[in-house]
Amino acid sequence: MAGTIAAVSALGMTAVLGGCGVTGGSPDVTLKLVAADYGDSKANSSQKYWDKLVEEYEAENPGVRIDVSVYSWNDVDRKVREMVAAGDPPDMAQIGSYAGYAAQNQLYKADDLLSIPVQADFVGQLASAGQVKGVQYGMPFASSTRVLFYNKALFSEAGITPPKTWDDLAADAEALKAEGVTTPYALPLGPEEAPAETMQWMLSGGGGYTDTVGSYGIDAPENVDTFSWLKTELVGKDLTGPVAPGELDRADAFAAFAEGEVGMVNGHPSLMNIAAKKGVKYGMVPTPGKEGTSKSTLGVADWMTAFRKNGHRDQVGDFLDFVYSEKNVLAFSREYDLLPVTTSASGTMAASDQDRHLRPFLEELLTSELYPVGKTSWADVSAEIKQRIGKAVAPGGNPSAVLGQLQAEASRAENAE
């Protein structure tokens, strides 16, 4: 995305700006909110979204002031950690993870804060992903899914149709290579996007990061089969690029697609704008699976949390009820081409011609699976995946051995929770 490069949220959104929110008179209560920036320039900084929302809320609630600080994804999680470590947490933080704070009993439960209609309005998968041991602490704030993007011009030149299965995808990649396409399929298993691309492929092969009881199952036979196929049928046949998968980051894969050099790549909504700005005509289809369209796809979310230390539970809850109104959820989602986290806003978006470009992603949300973010071990496991998973498909790599090593690390981390 445009702008100076910045960290990537769970949604893959970049952010570049920081700042402080609105100020006002002498309220009875001041609530501090730390939020992440989803914009890629000053013109669409999230600060503008929050300033407008807070102005409206404070006009209706003169006894409450909301002090908003917006930080880039480079800084927001670290900033909140530093505030917590200093004994001065914000009242609310809109960040990338919540489980560690929940495990330390620092967060309000969602049902301590939100009205019943608001809490019940969260999309089911997202609400479940916000739980630790069956209790919701993380309130989804923004969400996204993945679909397969393909370059229509390159497909037309090769005389091929979008894939529905792995075999279709491999055949299409071979045809694109024969036409001289630089990168038939971009496989970003580099540190930036590795956990997402890995999970997307695992799901398409009938596996995933966890088993049916919620424990890590990284080296499950289905996952080993998936990465063995990738290594043999795509990487081993020189159908990926432009660099080795373990060295390819998502941003570079997206940029190459936007330059017309990539035939296919898994992508989230922001790729639509990136490609359109470069004039690339693209199509989108559900993720191909082993024997047909994948039964599940990757869903991702960022989280709103509320810290208990400063109290003000009633005021925090009332403000968050306002934040999660259909109007405000839709406004945020439309500003940044993200998916609504509430059922009501999702229904409105699905029926609106204004949002038709997001329908393929909305349709995937109902069958999506999210990272195991309710595990305090997930941050460490995700870091290990970023460092190691590319080796599974590298020349001389052993998918079974690499996934087995990751499973061993995950089991140790899980047992330490």
The residues spanned by each domain of the chain are: 19-144+301-369, 147-286+377-415
* Strand intervals (E) in 192-332: 240-241, 262-267, 282-285, 297-306
What the block records as the tokens of 375 is 């595990």
Rounded CA gap, 269 and 327, in Å? Answer: 21
Q: What is the number of H-type helices and E-type strands within the chain? A: 18, 14
Which residue type occupies 21?
A: G
Residue-level pLDDT at 222: 97
Q: Residue 23's pLDDT is what?
A: 39
Q: Which fold has domain 147-286+377-415?
A: D-Maltodextrin-Binding Protein; domain 2 (3.40.190)
For the chain, how long is the longest CA-to-CA vector?
Answer: 70
With CA atoms as reference, report the closest residue to 45 among 17, 4, 11, 79. Answer: 17
**3-class DSSP assignment, residue 269:** coil
CB-CB contact of 147 with 285 (8 Å): yes
Domains 19-144+301-369 and 147-286+377-415 share a fold: yes
- Cα–Cα distance list, 176 to 25, 229, 287 (Å): 63, 19, 18
How, if at all, do strands 147-151 and 262-267 pair? antiparallel
Per-residue model confidence (pLDDT) at position 74: 78
Number of Cβ within a 10 Å radius of residue 156: 11
pLDDT tens-place values along the chain, 417 residues long: 333 333 456 665 544 444 443 434 456 899 999 999 988 777 888 999 999 999 999 999 999 999 999 998 878 999 999 999 999 999 999 998 899 999 999 999 999 999 999 999 999 999 999 999 899 999 999 999 999 999 999 999 999 999 999 999 999 999 999 999 999 999 999 988 899 999 999 999 999 999 988 899 999 999 999 999 999 999 999 999 999 999 999 989 999 999 999 999 999 998 998 999 999 999 999 999 999 999 999 999 999 999 999 999 999 999 999 999 999 999 999 999 899 999 999 999 999 999 999 999 998 888 899 999 999 899 889 989 999 999 999 999 999 999 999 999 999 998 887
pLDDT at 12 (0 to 100) = 59
So what's the architecture of 19-144+301-369 in CATH? 3-Layer(aba) Sandwich (3.40)
Buried b (16+ CB within 10 A) or exposed e, 166-204: beebbebbbbbbeeebbbbbbbbbbbbbbbbbbbbbbbb
Which pLDDT does position 45 carry in this prediction? 87
pLDDT at 259: 96
The torsion defined by the Cα of 160, 262, 292 and 146, in degrees rounded to 10, comes to: -140
Buried-exposed string 343-375: b where 16+ CB fall within 10 A, e elsewhere: bbbbebbeeeeebeebebbbebbebbbbbbbbb
Structure-token pair, residue 84: 């917590």
**Closest of 156, 151, 177, 192 to residue 285, by C-alpha:** 151
CA distance 2 to 14: 8
> Of 116, 124, 160, nearest to 140 (Cα)?
124
Reported as type and span, the H/E element at residue 203 is helix 194-204
In angstroms, the Cα distances linking 378 to 194, 210, 302 are: 14, 11, 14
Answer yes or no: are the C-beta atoms of 402 and 226 closer than 8 Å: no
pTM value is 0.85
DSSP codes, 296-317: -EEEEEEEEEEBSTT--HHHHH
> Given this model, what pLDDT does residue 15 score?
44
| Model pLDDT, residue 53 | 97
Measured between alpha carbons, how far is 149 from 257 in angstroms, rounded to an integer?
A: 9
